[in-house]
Amino acid sequence: MKKIAVVGTGYVGLVTGVALSDIGHNVTCIDIDQEKVKKMRDGESPIYEPGLDEVMTRNINAGRLHFTTSHEEGFVGKDVAYIAVGTPEREDGTADLRFIEAVAKDIAQNITEDITVVTKSTVPVGTNDYIIGLIRGNLAKDVTVNIVSNPEFLREGSAVYDAFNGDRIVVGADSAEAGDLIEEVNKPFGIPVYRTDVRSAEMIKYASNAFLATKIGFINEISNLCSRLDANVEDVAFGMGLDGRIGNQFLKAGIGYGGSCFPKDTSALVKIAESVDYDFELVKSVVSSNKRQQLVMVDKAKDVMGDLKGKTVALLGLAFKPNTDDMRESPAIAISRELLLAGADVKAYDPIAAVNAAHFMPDGVEYVGSKEEALSQADAVIIVTDWAEFKEMELSVFETEMAAPVVFDGRNCYGLEEVSGTNIGYYSIGRRPVVPEKVRVAE
């Protein structure tokens, strides 16, 4: 088993460090936030990720998982150092590498013996060459450093499961020795390892995310056609998915993707293409299509209800997907902004993300503590996140709580048959509306 340092304790870094310790390695996670480190030492995860606290606590108690703010302590005697800090999107769409640069210099100044540096962060093609140059140019001691690109493919909300049940582990190395070492580190996971060169590994991450975003964008565009042609997008998607060449994953129509990966990585890939004078029109169209899709339910509400000024609109769900509190690029942000601009009063509820949402959402949104409170006397509701709490709720709640039971379901949480026979005006994605003869739309 190896001695490993992991720099950065966000979704990628913390899950990576915890998983590596769980398969037997001695892992030290490094973060500059003292309060965050203190909580993690006590087994408290700073992020909401199902199952993570339990695995953290198990490995802390076993003496395999440690946390520190000291780079000197974190890097001493380590065989491998993982870089797992953020690469946020700049205003121009390029990846901001300032945190990567800082870590590279910290590694150079604090390592005491030969080491292999592994980049987990999503970085533009060619960045690992830049990182190894920075490290070797700032070394405080005469040691040998190799670099490996090992992109992550974790899904927020199921990251712990994915860490132990992934489809593949990509190891990109220009040094056979370094590649062998990282393959050995990952062997206990029992997941197939794909070996390639560093730049191809970097590209695999961007290409994978861009392809999945394209698949989501495609079915959303099909859903918009289905709405106009009286077809059912769920039946269409199912029929498509039966084709083994297409598959059924990422064919769920909705109000667009969000989160920390797809929006950032598609924009970054467009910029990477531009840097080599290539116009990646396909991905550019996916980016613009997704922005439009986020507002499709607001547009539908305006069509159905007319002027939204003075109307109370409830939002159920704020996180970009269920089982996470991540608000980055959540459709709720654009939806609430558009509703407020239209003069609506916006009440919002999310079972986990409400506190985090306040840092992202526009001013003027009222946050409430339950779905019933959000729906109380609302003129309409937009379902933004398909939390189980919403999918499993009795439809009668809409009728008893709302001033007018008009539901705009951005995640197709309910079957058309179960809505039929209620007094709910129901509008979903790519399916026919269900409108009873007497729908009480508030004046």
- The residues facing 146 across adjacent strands are 116
**Sheet of 169-173, strands arranged across:** 65-68, 26-30, 3-7, 80-83, 115-119, 145-149, 169-173, 193-196
Burial class (CB in 10 A: 0-12, 13-18, 19+), 229: exposed
Q: How far is CA 207 from CA 152, 323, 434, in A?
A: 13, 25, 39
Residues in Cβ contact with 344 at an 8 Å cutoff, skipping those fewer than 6 apart:
308, 309, 310, 311, 312, 313
Pick the catalytic residue from 29, 226, 261, 413: 261
What torsion do the CA atoms of 133, 138, 144, 147 make, to the nearest 10 degrees? -40
Select from 127, 46, 52, 33 the least CA-distant residue to 87: 127
**CA distance linking residue 103 with residue 131, whole number of Å:** 9
CA neighbours closer than 13 Å in the CB half-sphere of residue 9: 29
Structure tokens at 78: 């380590």
DSSP code string of 194-255: EEE-HHHHHHHHHHHHHHHHHHHHHHHHHHHHHHHHT--HHHHHHHHHTSTTT-STT---SS
For the record, the structure tokens of 62 come out as 């076993």
**C-alpha of 193 from chain center:** 24
Q: How many Å apart are CA 44 and CA 28, to the nearest integer?
A: 16
In the DSSP assignment, the letter for residue 127 is H
Please tell me whether residue 367 adopts helix, strand or coil conformation: strand
CA dihedral 207, 210, 101, 67 (to 10 degrees): -100
Whether 261 is a known active-site residue: answer yes
Cβ(131)–Cβ(21) below 8 Å = no
Give the whole-angstrom CA distance, residue 176 versus residue 225: 50
Residues annotated as part of the active site = 261
